[in-house]
Amino acid sequence: MTRPLSYRAGSLGASDGYAIDELSGVIGQGPHQFGYACDALRRWEQFRLSWLAVFPQEAPVDPGTTLAVRIRHLGFWSLNGARVVFREESPGARLAVAYGTLTNHAEEGEELFEVSFDAGTGDVTYRIRAMSRHRSRLARIGAPIARLLQARARTDSLHAMRRAVARRIAQR
């Protein structure tokens, strides 16, 4: 059975009670490193963390792909369903992928992952933007902890993308 999204796509906004969080940072320099960053994003390497992973790990970043996000928190693991709802690519400039939460996810909303190349500065930037609100009773009760985990996920995701680019540079 295919689970539906837990929200109405295209309907997210702070006025509807969704928290909007964003983090970005430079993860490389130049067109080659932009290519490495795109490859890492296509392989979901922003989720290759000791406490956070996506399954299947090699799932395509194509709209319609269903994923499970595994999270270790407070001494246990949880699985949260998601589906790729958006992919946009401008060769040599930008790759963006977003997933939306399914009805078995503790949160409700979308998360965008983007790498971009600024030809003027040479910077390769990774950006993560989340629009979410607590869906499950446990997430609502533990809202402060859930928000801390979300912030940690954004920061760790940025570091994971930096490591992925650095690893490819070292393999050259």
* Residue 62 near residue 80, CB atoms below 8 Å: no
Alpha helix stretches (DSSP H) within the chain:
30-42, 137-141, 143-171
* Residue 28 near residue 34, CB atoms below 8 Å: yes
In our burial notation (b when 16+ CB lie closer than 10 A, e otherwise), range 2-39 reads eeebbbeeeebeeeeebbebeeeeebbbeeebbbbbbe
For residue 104, give Cα distances in angstroms to 6, 77, 107. Answer: 8, 14, 9
Closest CA to 126 of 46, 30, 54, 70: 46
Report pLDDT for 33: 98
Other CB atoms within 10 Å distance of the CB of residue 79: 12
Q: Please give the domain boundaries of the chain with CATH numbers for all domains.
A: 18-171 (3.30.530.20)
156: alpha, beta or left, given left = phi > 0 and alpha = psi -120 to 50? alpha
Report pLDDT for 70: 95
Distance CA 92, CA 164 (A): 18
pTM for the full predicted model: 0.93
Q: How does pLDDT run along the chain (172 residues), one tens digit per residue?
A: 588 999 887 766 666 788 899 999 999 999 999 999 999 999 999 999 999 999 999 999 999 999 999 999 878 898 999 999 999 999 999 999 999 999 998 889 999 999 999 999 999 999 999 999 888 887 778 888 888 999 999 999 999 999 999 999 999 8
What residues are paired with 73 via a beta bridge? 76
Q: State whether residue 44 is helix, strand or coil.
A: coil
Q: State whether residue 140 is helix, strand or coil.
A: helix
Q: State whether residue 65 is helix, strand or coil.
A: coil
